[in-house]
Amino acid sequence: MNDETSAAAREPGFSTLAIHAGAQPDPTTGARATPIYQTTSFVFDDVDHAAALFGLQTFGNIYTRIGNPTNAVLEERVAALEGGTAALAVASGHAAQHLVFHTLLTPGDEFVASRKLYGGSINQFSHAFKSYGWNVAWADPDDISSFEKAITPKTKAIFTETIANPGGVVTDIAAISAIAKKAGIPLIVDNTLATPYLWQPIKDGADVVVHSATKFLGGHGNSIGGVIVDAGTFDWSATDRYPFLSKPRPEYQGIVLHETFGNFAFAIAARVLGLRDLGPALSPFNAFMILTGIETLALRMQRHSDNAQAVAEYLAGHPKVAWVSYPGLKGDRYQALAQKYLPKGAGAVFTFGLKGGYEAGVQVVSSVELFSHLANIGDTRSLIIHPASTTHRQLSDEAKVAAGAGPEVVRLSVGIEDVKDIIADLEQALAKV
Ligand SMILES: *Cc1c(COP(=O)(O)O)cnc(C)c1O
């Protein structure tokens, strides 16, 4: 191999992709940062061009609900970082999940989901999806065989998170992927908490990855957004169970999306059938904010993880703390899985329990000064919440405990401030308990 071909074959590293993938200087103005194409619609070259765009015979911009050049850079970048073939940017993480399942399920279908998920996803699956006739069966990520047991002839997908919010559960994605492959169904993975910097679940067998870009991808607590990544790995035509992909589409003159678009057909279907018709488009301004955030993803995720590790170790040694659930800690229940899947660090989000129970939890969130008391994660700032008095308040005591939100539980999303300031703030708040 000569030097030229070996240079061409070199794969750029993660940080390089995080800054450059999908972007180039604007061809008309030379603008180096990706411009915000704040326009609803795009002029056609002529009537034939318009017809080809509407018929999916050529790629291009029509209307920002369906696609936008700023959003397209974000899509290409996240696809590159996750190692997928294509992606679709949408208005929120929940919109991403909605479009993924809309592309896979018809009324009466089932899917299996881990019961350890972001609370909003549990609500979406239990209530909103039910009204579409999409039925969830819950499985336990601490007992992988429960995923297999929950599969029926109507099951069309498995859904899980890499690191599960809020409790620091590390999911054995490769083992769940083996179950999905055996059943001939795709594995959908929510990679919001790990981000592709810490974990690329496509390498472990995920067929579709979803993100709440609101969290660490954007990273600055200023923009809601979501992304769907197509791994290009699933054979949608092996059975007739995924008609959006494998059957002629009446919306597009009988085109079969999988046949036409091959290993990025899922991303196309989610766009031209889901996003086009259901409408949760991402604002180009938010795409710009999220792209800017992604440029520093590697730096931020490493600092988030390093800070969280130090804070977890500090809390584990504190006399008023009953327990700390962080996969980076020695002896943690998920330590072995974290060593396998998260060698760079175990992320920013974890929970700990206070010996003083509910009252102590309320005292700590009322006493912090640097931490912000709010219901979000993945900000540069350190965030704290006491689920039992806020997000999980409406649940029965039993349900609170089952959801990992018992009276003594406090959740942190450790920011990227100086770690000594983060620890000092917890120190003074704990002193008031
Ligand atoms: C926040 C979050 C979501 C939902 O995303 P939105 O952008 O708020 O719609 C989904 N999954 C996880 C793990 C989250 O943290």
Q: pLDDT by residue for the chain (433 residues), tens digit each? A: 344 455 567 889 999 999 999 999 999 999 999 999 999 999 999 999 999 999 999 999 999 999 999 999 999 999 999 999 999 999 999 999 999 999 999 999 999 999 999 989 999 999 999 999 999 999 999 999 999 999 999 999 999 999 997 778 999 999 999 999 999 999 999 999 999 999 999 999 999 999 999 999 999 999 999 999 999 999 999 999 999 999 999 999 999 999 999 999 999 999 999 999 999 999 999 999 999 999 999 999 999 999 999 999 999 999 999 999 999 999 999 999 999 999 999 999 999 999 999 999 999 999 999 999 999 999 999 999 999 999 888 878 888 887 788 999 999 999 999 999 999 999 999 999 9
Query: pLDDT value at position 8?
Result: 60
pLDDT confidence of residue 2: 44
How far apart are the C-alpha atoms of 210 and 248, rounded to whole Å?
A: 26
What pLDDT is attached to residue 395?
79
- CA dist 139 → 150, 190, 220 (Å): 7, 15, 33
Report how far ligand 1's centroid is from the alpha carbon of 93 (Å): 5
Closest CA to 270 of 84, 51, 133, 41: 84
403 Cα to the center of ligand 1, angstroms = 16
417: left (phi over 0), alpha (psi -120 to 50) or beta: beta
| Per-domain residue ranges of the chain | 12-294, 300-431
What pLDDT sits at residue 6?
Answer: 56
Q: Cα of 29 to ligand 1 centre, how many Å?
A: 36
Kindly calculate the radius of gyration of the chain based on its CA atoms and give it in whole angstroms.
Answer: 22
CA of 94 to the centre of ligand 1 (A): 6
C-alpha–C-alpha distance, residues 282 and 428, integer Å: 41
Nearest CA to ligand 1 atom 2: 212
CA distance 8 to 376: 42
Which atom of ligand 1 sits closest to the CA of residue 95?
A: 9
pTM (two decimals):
0.96
The CATH class given to the 300-431 domain equals alpha beta
Residue nearest atom 1 of ligand 1, based on CA coordinates: 212
Q: Which numeric CATH code is attached to 12-294?
A: 3.40.640.10
> What's the pLDDT score for residue 406?
92
Whole-number Å distance between alpha carbons of 255 and 270: 15
CB 146 within 8 A of CB 153: no
Nearest to 217 by CA among 250, 242, 194: 194
Here the tokens at position 190 are: 């929510």
Task: Give CA separation, 138 vs 117, 216, 405, in Å.
Answer: 10, 27, 18
Residue 161 near ligand 1, beta carbon < 6 Å: yes
Please work out whether the CB of residue 211 comes within 6 Å of at least one atom of ligand 1: no
